[in-house]
Amino acid sequence: MFDGIFWDNDGVLMETEHLYYQANAEALAGVGVELSLDDFCRISLRQGESVLDLVAGPGQSSREAGELRRVRDEIYFRLLGAEARVMPGVRETLERLHGRLPMAIVTSCRRENFLQTHRASGLLSYFDFILTREDYGSSKPDPEPYRTACARAGLDPGRCLAIEDSERGVISAVRAGLAVAAIPGHMNRGGDFGAARWLLDSVHDLPALLCL
């Protein structure tokens, strides 16, 4: 049994990654760039880079780049409020785990977007604390997010489990010393999950993994 569980948010707890793709695609379409789903998955989800850089170049000013990001962020915030959904099986799994051991969310999501995502989710009461992008310096796949979480919880990383759906999230947790159970969604299935200790089909498999 582990001493603590740390959960990624987007694609693990909440169904949001398709909304981020939609927001980026709409913003880029406005400047004449078509964003394929394959390019989004490769650049954003696996590499952790911005697809908005597809229009970066000598002719683009910082002002134009900032405006494009603002448009994307506005679209994404609106979509999160209207369409973000709890992933199937998450609520039931959290209910079974709640009170048995400490749990927290470790996300690369900005706090404003995170709170918008969970405005009506009803999930936050299951967690002891939440780390968003503002709470650490370097984002996933850097180990800092999970090291920060373990330090805040006062737990040995080697005694903790991370639940991730992306290659870079898995790398972040493994580098920090945690065991990882990966649950890749359809948008992350092209990633390399060899570093994860377990590869699960769905969150429904987690209680059995924990011998509950």
Please list the pLDDT of the chain residue by residue as tens digits (212 residues): 899 999 999 999 999 999 999 999 999 999 999 999 999 998 988 888 899 988 876 566 778 888 999 999 999 999 999 999 999 999 999 999 999 999 999 999 999 999 999 999 999 999 999 999 999 999 999 999 999 999 999 999 999 999 999 999 999 999 999 999 999 988 887 788 999 999 999 999 999 999 87
Q: Does 3.40.50.1000 match the CATH number of domain 4-14+85-209? A: yes
Q: What residue has token string 């999501």?
A: 109
Looking at residue 202, its pLDDT comes to: 94
What pLDDT is recorded for position 86? 98
CB count in 10 Å sphere of residue 192:
10
Treating both helix axes as pointing N-terminal to C-terminal, what angle do 17-29 and 62-83 enclose, rounded to 10 degrees?
A: 140
Torsion region of 154: left, alpha or beta (phi above 0 gives left; psi -120 to 50 gives alpha): left
Domain ranges of the chain: 4-14+85-209, 17-83
Please tell me the predicted confidence (pLDDT) of residue 47.
Answer: 83
pTM of the model: 0.92
- How far apart, in whole angstroms, are the C-alpha atoms of residue 197 and residue 170? 10
**C-alpha span between 163 and 161 (Å, rounded):** 7
Residue 170 is predicted with a pLDDT of 96
pLDDT at residue 57 in the model: 62
Rounded-to-integer distance, Cα 12 and Cα 205, Å: 13
pLDDT at residue 60 in the model: 64
